[in-house]
């Protein structure tokens, strides 16, 4: 190791103190839960003019997620201080982890839908940087883009759902919307709301057909993968569906959609796990399968389902985080995650093996693990409803695959003949051993000490099902339960023993990947690229007259559509209410100037002559403004036209003859005449409409007392439209900066000539 690497390693190990941030939050949260009754509420003004406040609401469901976010987060920070010890970009990684944790805390604590959405999208943005952390790797960049497109796209659908819910209920409060669930059922907009909500939640939690992005996100460093899969981002869709379940659980659309999509996701992801050779991708596929199971459980209409959701969600975090840490330890020590090469590591990495075995016991649902308790509750919830037989068989298959995956992580990697290439492999540092061992042991302790978990988890289940009579959280140790466990265990071990044969068979179906969801997504991106190329070629062709022609045609179509949608009889065009001006001669002069410039422009070829005739249009418009009651606009127009003519006349001699594009002169003439007639009709119609003086009177009344100015126009520009005026000033300033290089070049040319 070089001295530079040693210095980097020492600096990164010093970042262990950052674990004090999540650990402090975790300890404070546990103390608050024991001392202060839930729920906790806090309301702070943020944008009161828009009705947006920083409203926070923490009940038992939020508290459970906060415990996982901060508790697992503490272990992730400790683990990362060892895993990233010799990475020069470790500081950036820890900053992203802190921001990610903050965004997660914001999502599960926010009560205002817009604030929740803000943190929701922040998790997608930060996960983009985490997945693409190794930005020099093309595959990492592609996976990060894929995750960002899918989750941010789903976020836009979720925003639309939130807006519709706020319109229907008249509130942005999540708790108030859930409480008004019975009133929403009869609203005809509710199906659209649910579809948009499903898209937002399914994209975030990798449900079919959006399931493919999560395994591809394994390019992220292992600490981020462990955090993402166990306690954070991918669970957000589950959190939001659980939040809305009390409002919509009785709807057939809600039940059928969640049970159907959840079952498809769980079974398909479990099947795809058999095709993988990368240990992290195998675990990622099993995570997608577990998320599908959670979605299915939320869709179940019985009372036991709420407790099953909470128990399985908690158990999944307690075994999936250690297993990802184990995969990271193996990759860190051996340089590979391929199960084709990993075998017999029990002597080189004994402590990592112990962590893998303890976590795998819970994943397989064996007794003396919290996974056993969770899967027993899931079985109870499944038996308490009229599920289709295929759904029941699907869950049996999913549980069996979980046993097989657990066996791969705990048996295949560490037992069997040792690979001679790993003879010099050594166990990782304590920073990378303590987190998986501690979390896996906690998973065992929770089954042995159910009274410690009951208050929080049972109360969280009651949030999902407020009317349900939910008892304590305990496992059934009857003979029937052990028979069910044994059945799943035997099927899972058979799948494990025949893993290679199943893998070869499924790998032979690779041609079907061309018709899968991932391939469809790539084809959509390719189609979008082609559409963008066609759009650029068609609309950004570089011909200024073409731009003008297209703009006028679009405006004409919009104007025609608005006219047809309104008063098309034209009776008001020639009303006698047209205003009579005393300075009619001035308006006539302005009309002559504008008409003369417009009519002469098509027949003038020289640049300077064309500039002069176009200037007639500008001066005629200034005269019109002057006698129409807008002297400030008129003088501005006079100044702009004069400066334009002077500057342009000074610059034009330095350029050659203008290039001539083949122009459709008849089409240009037709568009110009149509635009002129449409403008005339629009103005005539405006004159026939009674004027509304309310806004003018308001400004006249409030300019002096509110803004302390007697010039109403100046007050509007400086006070009432301050940001708009500031923007205009900025545009002028930027234009001057842009023109400065041109003027400097002209000055140099003059000196050299």
Tens-place pLDDT, residues 450-461: 555 677 888 888
**What does the pLDDT average to over 550-572?**
74
Q: Does 222 share its domain with 79?
A: yes
Q: Does 52 share its domain with 107?
A: yes
In the block, tokens 């469901």 appear at: 61
Length of the chain: 753
**Is the pLDDT score of 5 beyond 90?**
no
Predicted confidence band at 576 (pLDDT cuts at 50, 70, 90)? very low
Q: Does 514 share its domain with 504?
A: no
Distance CA 228, CA 287 (A): 10
| Beta-bridge partner residues of 110 | 56
State which of 50-54, 97-101, 575-579 shows the largest mean pLDDT: 97-101
Residue 110 phi, psi dihedral angles, 5° rounding: -75, 140
Predicted confidence band at 659 (pLDDT cuts at 50, 70, 90)? low
Which segment of 146-150, 232-236, 294-298 scores lowest on mean pLDDT? 232-236
pLDDT tens digits for range 518-542:
888 888 988 988 998 888 888 887 7
Q: Does 464 share its domain with 403?
A: yes
- What is the reported pLDDT for 496? 87
Q: Does 524 share its domain with 450?
A: no
| Beta-bridge partner residues of 41 | 57
**Is the pLDDT score of 117 beyond 90?**
yes
**What does the pLDDT average to over 74-79?**
94
Within a domain: 160: no
Q: Is 270 within 8 Å of 397 (Cβ atoms)?
A: yes
| DSSP H helical ranges for 249-345 | 252-273, 279-299, 304-334
Question: How many independent structural domains does the chain possess?
Answer: 4
Predicted confidence band at 115 (pLDDT cuts at 50, 70, 90)? very high
Distance CA 250, CA 243 (A): 14
Q: Does 341 share its domain with 456?
A: yes
Q: What share of the chain in percent tops pLDDT 70? A: 91
- 3-class SS at 312? helix
| Domain range enclosing 516 | 510-540
Q: Does 453 share its domain with 519?
A: no
Distance CA 262, CA 305 (A): 14
Q: Is 37 within 8 Å of 440 (Cβ atoms)?
A: no
**Is the pLDDT score of 124 beyond 60?**
yes
Within a domain: 184: no
Distance CA 255, CA 534 (A): 43
**Is the pLDDT score of 7 beyond 60?**
no
- What is the reported pLDDT for 660? 58
pLDDT tens digits for range 713-723:
778 878 877 77
**Is the pLDDT score of 571 beyond 70?**
no
Within a domain: 37: yes
**What does the pLDDT average to over 27-35?**
91
**Is the pLDDT score of 43 beyond 80?**
yes
Phi-psi region of 278 (alpha: psi -120 to 50; beta: other; left: phi over 0): beta
Q: Does 380 share its domain with 517?
A: no
Phi-psi region of 313 (alpha: psi -120 to 50; beta: other; left: phi over 0): alpha
| CA dihedral sign, ordered 272, 274, 276, 279 | positive
Mean pLDDT of the chain: 84
Q: Distance of CA 137 to CAs 131, 324, 325, Å?
A: 11, 21, 22
**Is the pLDDT score of 3 beyond 70?**
no
Q: Which distant-in-sequence residues (6+ apart) come within 8 Å of 403 by Cβ?
A: 363, 364, 365, 488, 489, 491, 492, 493, 495, 496
**Is the pLDDT score of 129 beyond 90?**
yes
**What does the pLDDT average to over 332-342?**
86
**Could you write out the DSSP letters of every residue in 338-394?**
BTTT----TTT-HHHHHHHHHHHHHHHT-TTSHHHHHHHHHHHHHHTS---HHHHHH
**Is the pLDDT score of 294 beyond 50?**
yes
Which segment of 163-177, 316-330, 684-698 scores lowest on mean pLDDT? 684-698
Q: Does 307 share its domain with 220?
A: no
Rounded to 5°, angle at Cα 421 from 415 and 426: 70
- Helix 430-448 to helix 370-383 angle (10° resolution) is 50
| CA dihedral sign, ordered 498, 499, 502, 505 | negative
List Cβ<8 Å contacts ≥24 apart for 659-668: 661/543, 661/545, 663/545, 665/602, 667/549, 668/545, 668/549, 668/602
| Two structure tokens written together for 53 | 């406040």
Within a domain: 733: yes
| Two structure tokens written together for 191 | 């199906």
Q: Does 79 share its domain with 102?
A: yes
Q: Is 433 within 8 Å of 427 (Cβ atoms)?
A: yes
Q: Does 454 share its domain with 494?
A: yes
Distance CA 512, CA 532 (A): 29
- What is the reported pLDDT for 11? 52
Phi-psi region of 415 (alpha: psi -120 to 50; beta: other; left: phi over 0): beta
Q: Does 396 share its domain with 533?
A: no
Within a domain: 38: yes
- 3-class SS at 610? helix
- What is the reported pLDDT for 287? 92
Within a domain: 438: yes
- What is the reported pLDDT for 384? 63
Q: Is 182 within 8 Å of 214 (Cβ atoms)?
A: no
Within a domain: 596: no
Distance CA 169, CA 547 (A): 45
Distance CA 371, CA 286 (A): 14
**What does the pLDDT average to over 687-694?**
73
- What is the reported pLDDT for 574? 54
Within a domain: 482: yes
- What is the reported pLDDT for 25? 93
**Is the pLDDT score of 462 beyond 80?**
yes
Predicted confidence band at 387 (pLDDT cuts at 50, 70, 90)? low
- Of 104 and 10, the structure prediction assigns the larger pLDDT to 104
H or E stretch at 222: helix 222-230
State which of 540-554, 565-579, 626-640 shows the largest mean pLDDT: 540-554
**Is the pLDDT score of 23 beyond 90?**
yes
Alpha carbons within 13 A on the beta-carbon side of 432: 26
């Amino acid at each position: 190791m070089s001295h530079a690497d040693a210095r980097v390693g020492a600096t990164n190990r010093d970042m262990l103190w950052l674990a004090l941030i999540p650990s402090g939050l975790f300890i404070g949260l546990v103390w608050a839960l024991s001392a202060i009754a839930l729920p906790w509420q806090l309301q702070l003004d943020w944008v009161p003019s828009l009705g947006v406040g920083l409203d926070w609401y923490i009940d038992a469901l939020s508290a459970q997620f906060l415990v996982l976010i901060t508790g697992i987060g503490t272990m992730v920070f400790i683990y990362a201080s060892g895993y990233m010890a010799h990475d020069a970009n470790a500081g950036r990684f820890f900053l992203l982890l802190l921001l990610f944790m903050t965004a997660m805390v914001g999502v599960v604590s926010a009560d205002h839908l817009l604030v929740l959405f803000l943190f929701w999208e922040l998790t997608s943005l930060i996960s983009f940087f985490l997945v693409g952390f190794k930005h020099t790797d093309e595959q990492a960049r592609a996976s990060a883009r894929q995750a960002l497109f899918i989750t941010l796209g789903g976020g836009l659908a979720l925003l639309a759902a939130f807006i519709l819910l706020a319109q229907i209920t008249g509130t942005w409060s999540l708790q108030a919307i859930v409480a008004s669930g019975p009133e929403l059922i009869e609203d005809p907009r509710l199906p659209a709301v649910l579809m948009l909500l499903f898209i937002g939640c399914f994209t975030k939690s990798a449900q079919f057909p959006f399931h493919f992005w999560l395994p591809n996100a394994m390019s992220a460093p292992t600490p981020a993968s462990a955090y993402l899969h166990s306690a954070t981002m991918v669970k957000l869709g589950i959190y939001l569906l659980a939040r809305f379940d009390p409002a919509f659980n009785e709807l057939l659309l809600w039940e059928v959609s969640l049970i159907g999509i959840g079952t498809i996701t769980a079974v398909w992801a479990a099947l795809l796990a058999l095709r993988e050779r990368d240990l992290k991708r195998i675990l990622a596929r099993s995570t997608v399968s577990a998320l599908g199971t959670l979605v299915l459980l939320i869709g179940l209409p019985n009372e036991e389902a709420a407790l099953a959701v909470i128990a399985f969600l908690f158990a999944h975090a307690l075994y999936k985080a250690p297993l990802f840490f184990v995969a990271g330890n193996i990759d860190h020590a051996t340089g590979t995650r391929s199960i084709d090469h990993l075998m017999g590591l029990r002597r080189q990495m004994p402590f990592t093996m112990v962590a893998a075995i303890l976590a795998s016991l819970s994943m397989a649902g064996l007794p003396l693990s919290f996974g056993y308790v969770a899967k027993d509750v899931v079985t109870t919830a499944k038996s308490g409803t009229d599920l289709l037989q295929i759904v029941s068989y699907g869950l049996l298959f999913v549980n069996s695959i979980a046993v097989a995956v657990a066996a791969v992580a705990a048996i295949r990697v560490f037992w069997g003949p040792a690979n001679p290439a790993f003879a010099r492999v050594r166990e990782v540092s304590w920073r990378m051993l303590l987190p998986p061992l501690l979390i896996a042991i906690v998973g065992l302790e929770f089954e042995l000490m159910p009274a410690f978990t009951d208050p929080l988890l049972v109360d969280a289940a009651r949030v999902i099902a407020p009317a349900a009579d939910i008892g304590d959280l305990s496992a059934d140790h009857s003979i029937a339960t052990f028979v069910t466990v044994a059945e799943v265990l035997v099927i899972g071990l058979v799948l494990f023993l025949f893993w290679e044969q199943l893998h070869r068979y499924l790998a032979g179906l690779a041609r079907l990947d061309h018709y899968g969801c991932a391939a469809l997504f790539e084809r959509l991106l390719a189609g979008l690229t082609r559409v963008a190329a066609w759009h650029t070629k068609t609309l950004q062709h570089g011909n200024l007259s073409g731009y003008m022609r297209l703009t006028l045609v679009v405006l004409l179509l919009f104007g025609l559509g608005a006219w047809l949608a309104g008063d098309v009889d034209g009776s008001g065009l020639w009303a006698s209410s047209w205003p009579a001006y005393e300075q009619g001669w001035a308006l006539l002069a302005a009309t002559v100037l504008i008409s003369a410039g417009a009519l002469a422009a098509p027949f003038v070829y020289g640049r300077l002559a064309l500039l002069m005739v176009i200037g007639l249009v500008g001066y005629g418009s200034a005269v019109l403004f002057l006698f129409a009651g807008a002297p400030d606009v008129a003088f501005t127009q006079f100044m702009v036209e004069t400066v334009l003519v002077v500057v342009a006349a000074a610059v034009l001699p330095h350029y050659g003859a203008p290039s001539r594009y083949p122009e459709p002169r008849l089409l240009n003439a037709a568009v110009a005449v149509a635009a002129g007639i449409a403008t005339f009709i629009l103005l005539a119609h405006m004159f026939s409409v009674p004027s509304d003086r309310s806004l003018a009177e308001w400004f006249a009344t409030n300019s002096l007392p509110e803004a302390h100015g007697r010039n109403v126009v100046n007050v509007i520009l400086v006070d009432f439209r301050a940001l708009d005026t500031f923007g205009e000033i900025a545009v002028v300033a930027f234009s001057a900066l842009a023109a400065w290089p041109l003027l400097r070049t002209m000055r140099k040319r003059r000196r050299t000539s």
